[in-house]
Amino acid sequence: MNLNKVKIVALDFDGVVTNLNIDWHYAIRLASAIAGYDVKSLLTFFEASEGKPIFQTVSREIEKLELEALKKAELKPFITDFLQKISERQIDAYIVSMQSARVVKKFLGEHGLTRFFKDVITRERCPSKKAQVMYLLDNSGVRADEVLLVDDLARNISKCQELGVRCFHFARHQNSRKTREMWDSILNIAKG
């Protein structure tokens, strides 16, 4: 199969750019209490409640947890070098994240990374990873096989592969050497 050159690298935020150490079980219990029913997954909840007032209410409360976690969040090793290299190759970078825009933009600004990203697509605009990638495809003018999604969740990768985008499964927790090898692998895919 002949693949086109990668023109866009779409990075997940939590798990790829940084790790937000949030107690997701607590977050789901909080969402359940607010929604008045047993929420099994925030990802499923946000997708199902898009456009409803409950979406905004739960999103605001989860954002508080995300902002608190941001205080201790560290930049993933080697990501700045990676972003610089793809920028030099004129490959656009996007964030596609189920965190809030406020959280992602705050972190990028604090770490001097805002300049590397063409856009930040979050749950407020698109309530699922697949919807975020579809939005990116609809608004960027590139073909699906010209997009490389980097995500730490197999579920997101599986759903986005259905769209025809290339995907890279990024291991959330790893040592420095493995992290460097992963960024090098992603760069090699992006370079074609």
Residue 60 maps to a domain: yes
64 and 141 in a single domain? The answer is no
Paired tokens of 150: 């980097």
Q: What is the pTM of this model?
A: 0.95
- Contact present, 170 and 17 (Cβ < 8 Å): no
Structure tokens at 59: 């999103």
Does the pLDDT at position 164 exceed 50? yes
Cα distances from 22 to residues 8, 65, 145, in angstroms, run 29, 7, 33
Q: Say yes or no: 14 and 35 in one domain.
A: no
- For 64-118, the pLDDT digits (tens) are 999 999 999 999 999 999 999 999 999 999 999 999 999 999 999 999 999 999 9
Main-chain phi, psi angles of 111, to 5 degrees: -110, 10
Q: For position 125, which CATH number holds? A: 3.40.50.1000
Q: What type of residue is 16?
A: V
Which two tokens mark 188?
């090699």
> Which residue among 70, 87, 102 closes a domain?
70
